Amino acid sequence: MTEEIAVIPGDGIGQEVVPAAVDVLDTVGDFAFVEAEAGDHVLEAEGEALPQETYDLAADADATLFGAAGETAADVILPLREAVGSFANVRPARAYPGVDALRPETDLVFVRENTEGVYTGIESEIADGVTTLTRVITEDASRRIAEYGFEYAAENGFDDVTVAHKANVMRVTDGEFLDACEAVADEGGYEYDEALMDALAMHLLLRPEEYGVVICPNLAGDMLSDLAAGLVGGLGLLPSANIGPDNALFEPVHGSAPDIAGQGISNPCATILSAAMLLEHLGYQEEATTVRTAVEGVLADGPHTPDLGGDASTEDVTEAIVDRL
Ligand code: NAI
Ligand code: MG
């Protein structure tokens, strides 16, 4: 079967890094790529940032590769994550030989709950100058992210699993989250540690080598994974996956980078590593490893784009990766 992959480059450097990742996918596999538009430039031309046909394409494809949107990012990526039924946001943060990193020993994967917590949008101004936000934590969603996180750790060879929370203050909601994680761990025979998310931020910075998979409620996962991005040498290297029950969307963590867009110097590695996650998701483990090894080789030996201190173009780096496949 030829899988259909929806390809949504979006704005800015999305238009540069997504074609690079498609080249890589095309080299290692036999996929049907269907391209669709979204983002600021579509809002300008058509009056909406995410046309229904793009949403439908992502919902119906076997997997989606997304670049980035600009100012319309929230209007594009949140519905797209919903289109694929995503409940888990998986964000690996790993340092690579050849790349200057604050903490070269970092090899972390954040498994972030992607549907609730404080990102429910249930906010109100209940009186002049008094505002509230409702934090939703359900047993179902907590169990689902815990199951995904523990299984991910087991399948990918991580010994350390940490559940991030703040149940000493948010006793009811994070109490529920912790109880669900504990129940899933008991049932599956998984081992893990708990960590208060604020203290964890410091420990990740000081001793990242003591951590592996970190299972997080929504906001904690967003913040801790960005912190980890800083440990490994920048946004140009960070892939991510949005996983649903039977569909998924893959995207670099970075945005549309208007400061360098159009110059052909964006680093394609984050998007190519996202494509490797896509391959893995579709069951092409060997191809995923081949792509990762090629990226690691180029990171170690060059060429490098300017964000990594080199003077190579997006195309040079992509060619060097494809040559190694
Ligand atoms: P950004 O990630 O686009 O850029 C931050 C800095 O990192 C910039 O200096 C940029 O040049 C650099 N950078 C990012 N990716 C790079 C790459 N692949 N190679 C080389 N350098 C890279 O974040 P920023 O500047 O905060 O936002 C720019 C736009 O992107 C905004 O309109 C924002 O709304 C949007 N955005 C979209 C996201 C999405 O679609 N998922 C996520 C984050 C931001
Ligand atoms: Mg974020």
Phi, psi dihedral angles at 136 (to 5 degrees): -105, 120
In this prediction, residues 249-260 reach a mean pLDDT of 96
d(CA 61, CA 210): 38
Strands 32-35 vs 63-68: parallel, antiparallel or unpaired: unpaired
Active site residues: 119, 166, 198, 222, 226
Q: Label residue 121 by pLDDT band (50, 70, 90).
A: confident
Q: Is the CB–ligand 1 distance for residue 316 below 6 Å?
A: no
Q: Label residue 235 by pLDDT band (50, 70, 90).
A: confident
Q: Is the CB–ligand 1 distance for residue 271 below 6 Å?
A: no
Q: What is the DSSP string of 59-79?
A: HHSSEEEEEE-STTHHHHHHH
* Shortest-distance Cα residue to atom 12 of ligand 1: 257
In this prediction, residues 236-245 reach a mean pLDDT of 94
Strand order in the sheet with 32-35: 32-35, 4-10, 63-68, 248-252, 239-243, 88-94, 107-113, 213-216, 161-165, 193-196
pLDDT in tens, 88-120: 999 999 999 999 999 999 999 999 999 999 988
d(CA 189, CA 174): 22
* Shortest-distance Cα residue to atom 23 of ligand 1: 255
pLDDT in tens, 122-150: 999 999 999 999 999 999 999 999 999 99
